[in-house]
Amino acid sequence: MKEPGEDFKEIEDFLKKQQIKKTPPELLDKFSKEVMDRIQTEQPGSPWGLGIPGAVCVILLLAVGLFMWGSYQHKAPEEKIQLPKPTAAVIPVEASSPAVAAVPVEVPQPVEISQPVNVPQDQELSVEETIQILEELDEEGLFSLMEEVMGEEFLIQELLITVPMT
Amino acid sequence: MADEAEIPKESVSDERLVIFAVNGDRRSFEILVRRHQEKAVQIAYSFIHNFHDAKDIAQDAFVKSFKSLYRFQQRSKFSTWFYRILINQCKDFLKRKKEFTSSNESIFENIASPTQTDDAFKAHQLKQTLMEALNSLTFKQKAIVILSYFEEHSLEEVSTILGISIGTVKATRFQVLAKLKKELITSKEKAS
């Protein structure tokens, strides 16, 4: 029984006997010298694949970049590029989404700050002075003033005590 | 690097010479070139069929290998790695030179003259048939024959050099042998 590949033993032996023509010696005379001349200016290379010319280019690029960055830093603020301020993004909320709808959203109400009418802020009045001002007020003015100061319980109590309600 | 200078470089292994060369020792690379130049030209010649072009291709391959020495990971022999570069150079050359047609001029040694004895004449005819059969092969098939039989590289080496699996090498070699055998048998029959 023949071994696998035995069919080709004869042809393999024939092929192995063949010898490729020898290189003419004159071609090899200066071969290595010519190769070494060609790689005279080359480097064995580096993992960066740069070599000396590449490294010089990178250094130059870095220097130019550094110079440009430095000169930009020294510019007046108005000469610098003004970036637009970010605006609040409006995110549409779909009420149909139960997860979103379940989250209570508190909308802050605008707060109005009103100055009390006819009452100077930076000076305190004595009780006598207050009574005098109140006595000068007619009924409508008195109620108007009371409306202004609603919430200031102390003052109201003072008024109730000291102002004879006739 | 003091110890480097003391070592006679001619006796140093290829792989150590590569390390020296990567570290800037050009003399080590020159030794590598001298060690492999003859084989390199011969392999290129077996593809190109012209010694002058083969020499240029071999030189290009050495220059290219020098530039990418850092990529040599020492996972294979230097020669295996270098032959891969060389064969790629041959392939590129043949692609560039589209008008190139393989000549039937034998690349083998000891071609007997037809005026010699009958046996010599038969041998001459067989070699001629082999050349014609080789020229009809694809680049990959031819490379497998050249590396496996004429250069006697192992299956693993052939697979590494050509960048294909061992299975592909085996299968392709089988196809090629079948084809060559057929051609040679026919030629023998004609001669007898």
pLDDT tens sequence across B96-110: 886 555 566 667 666
What chain A residue is nearest to B109 in terms of C-alpha separation? A21
Name residue A20's beta-bridge partners.
B108
Q: Do A23 and B177 touch (CB under 8 A)?
A: no
CA-based nearest distance B154→chain A, Å: 13
Residues constituting chain B: 192
Q: Taking CB atoms and an 8 Å limit, are B149 and A34 in contact across chains?
A: no
CB atoms within 10 A of CB B39: 17
Write down the mean pLDDT value for chain A. Answer: 71
Give the one of B34, B63, B109 whose C-beta lies nearest to A39's C-beta: B63
Q: Please, which pLDDT band fits residue B1 given cuts at 50, 70 and 90?
A: very low
Mutate to test the interface with A, among B28, B71, B181, B182 (most CBs of A within 10 A): B181
Q: How confident is the model at residue A36 (pLDDT cuts 50, 70, 90)?
A: very high
Q: What is the pLDDT of residue A126?
A: 80
pLDDT tens-digit map of A100-113: 555 566 666 666 65
CA distance A18 to A14: 7
Nearest by CB to B107, from A8, A21, A32: name it.
A21
Mutate which of A39, A40, A48 to disrupt the B interface (most B C-beta within 10 Å)?
A39
Number of H helices, E strands in chain A: 8, 0
Q: A144 touching B, CB under 8 A?
A: no
Kindly state the percentage of chain A with pLDDT values over 70: 51
A19 neighbors B150 (Cβ within 8 angstroms) = yes
- Residue A9 is predicted with a pLDDT of 84
For the segment A60-70, the average pLDDT, to the nearest whole number, is: 88
Q: How confident is the model at residue B133 (pLDDT cuts 50, 70, 90)?
A: confident
Q: Confirm whether the ipTM is greater than 0.85.
A: no
Rounded to whole angstroms, how far apart are CA atoms B122 and B110?
13
Q: Is the pLDDT of residue B57 over 90?
A: yes
Give the Cα separation of A141 and A87 in Å (integer): 48
Question: Is residue B35 over pLDDT 90?
Answer: yes
Q: Which amino acid is at B104?
A: N
Tell me how far apart the alpha carbons of residues A75 and B84 are, in angstroms, rounded to a whole number.
57
Question: Does A38 sit within 8 Å of B22, measured CB to CB?
Answer: no
Task: Find, among B34, B42, B45, the residue nearest to A30 by Cα.
Answer: B34
Express as a percent the part of chain B with pLDDT over 70: 84
Largest interatomic CA distance in chain A:
141
In the prediction, which pLDDT does B122 show? 72
> What residues in A contact B45, CB-CB < 8 Å?
20-21, 23
Q: How many angstroms separate the CA of residue A44 from the nearest CA in chain B?
A: 5
Average pLDDT over residues B150-175: 93
As given in the structure block, the two tokens for residue B59 are 């030189």
- Give the number of beta-carbon pairs within 8 Å between A and B: 115
Handedness of CA B145, B146, B151, B153 (dihedral sign): negative
Angstrom distance (rounded) from CA B81 to CA B103: 29
Assess A28–B contact: CB distance below 8 Å, yes or no.
yes
Residue to substitute from B59, B85, B188, interface A, most A β-carbons within 10 A: B59
Q: According to DSSP H, which parts of chain B are helical? A: 2-6, 14-22, 26-48, 51-67, 78-96, 118-135, 139-145, 155-162, 166-191
Decide if A29 touches B, using CB distance below 8 A: no
The reply to whether residue B66 touches residue A42, judged by beta carbons under 8 angstroms, is: yes
**76-115 in A: which are within 8 Å (CB) of B?**
none
The whole-angstrom separation of Cα A142 and Cα A159 is 10
